[in-house]
Amino acid sequence: MKEMKRRNKKLYPGLCSLIFISVFPLMVTDALYGESLYSKIEKGSTLYQDKKYDEALKSFVDAQIESPEEPTLKYNVANSHYKIKNYEEAVKNYQDVAASAHDIKLEEKSIYNIGNCMYRQGRLEEAVAYYKKALELDPDDQDAKYNLEFVREEIKRRINQAKQREKQQEQKEGEKQEGEKKQKSEGQQQQPKEEEQKKQQEHQQQASKEKQQKRGEKQMAKTKPMTPEEAERWLRSLKEDKKTPKKREREKGAGSFRPEKDW
């Protein structure tokens, strides 16, 4: 938030210094008491202006012992809590001031600062509600108007960011699902491919087997015994050879050849 401009009641909520409290009711015997309260408030105010908020808070709380119901003192205590980011305690004191203050301006400032506390805690919807309430008390409060619009825009921005994150998450989920589908599809395609390769291998093995079988059949054809016709032709040639003396003499010289009886 733009450091909620103008006036002391902004994100540094306005400091109310008690210059003098209820002078007339004090009796002479209470003069020292009044001076002690005044000095504590002045000390707290000085420390606050010097940004020594912890010490300022202690001084204001000490002063409250002597004047616990003083609204402006409660307001300064609330401001000190706010400055040290103790927002819960600040809200309690601002609420107490708003409920008990007879000054409508002090009440409006307290309500406005509660809105600031809510914003600082990230409770944006509640901050809007308190700024609107502050404007009901003082419609001319430009700071409340500015912060109201600022926080409304911040709410819209955060809603848009949430939607964008949700959209990105959905996109990631979609990409993940698409990847899983693609992987599954590739797996299904791979399976038929493997089956086709297996069939091709089986076909090649079968072809190789048939080729070997044919080769074996050819080999067997070479070693087959003669058919009866072939045997008869062969015997006939032998008979013709007997008619040739020279051949017969050569056969006698060989003295070992005999045709098989099967023929």
Domain boundaries, the chain: 28-158, 227-263
Residue bearing the bigger pLDDT, 8 or 128: 128
Question: pLDDT per residue over 97-106, tens digit each?
Answer: 999 988 999 9
């809007």: which residue's tokens? 128
Cβ atoms of 72 and 26 within 8 Å: the answer is: no
Tell me how far apart the alpha carbons of residues 139 and 135 are, in angstroms, rounded to a whole number. Answer: 4
Q: What is the pLDDT of residues 150-171, one digit of tens each?
A: 999 999 999 999 999 988 988 8
Cα 150 to Cα 154: distance, rounded to the nearest angstrom: 6
Distances (CA, A) of 60 to 56, 195, 227: 6, 88, 136
Closest to 76 (Cα-Cα) out of 110, 99, 114: 110
Q: Which residues contact 210 (CB under 8 A, 6 or more apart)?
A: none
Which tens digit of pLDDT belongs to each residue from 176-233? 888 787 777 766 666 666 777 888 888 888 877 777 766 655 544 444 455 667 566 6
pLDDT (0 to 100) of residue 188: 64
Ramachandran bin of 18, using left for φ above 0, alpha for ψ from -120 to 50, beta for the remaining angles: beta
Question: C-alpha angle 119/41/142, rounded to 5°?
Answer: 35
Kind plus residue range of the DSSP H or E element containing 186: helix 142-222
3-state SS, residue 33: helix
C-alpha pair distances (Å), 163 with each of 119, 142, 149, 153, 217? 21, 32, 21, 15, 80
- Scan for tokens 């008690």, then name that residue: 18
> Which percentage of the chain shows pLDDT scores above 90?
43
The mean pLDDT value of the chain amounts to 76
Mean pLDDT for the stretch of residues 71-91: 95
Q: Angle between the 87-100 and 104-120 helix axes, to the nearest 10 degrees?
A: 160
Most trustworthy range by pLDDT among 145-149, 177-181, 235-239: 145-149
66, 13, 68: which is closest to 38 by C-alpha? 66
**Distance of alpha carbon 103 from alpha carbon 208, whole angstroms:** 110
3-class DSSP string for 199-210: HHHHHHHHHHHH
Give the Å distances, CA to CA, from 36 to 46, 154, 187, 205.
15, 46, 88, 113
Local structure of residue 15 (DSSP, 8 states): P
Distance, in Å, from the CA atom of 175 to the CA atom of 170, rounded to the nearest integer, reads 9
What CATH number labels 28-158? 1.25.40.10
Handedness of CA 174, 175, 180, 185 (dihedral sign): positive
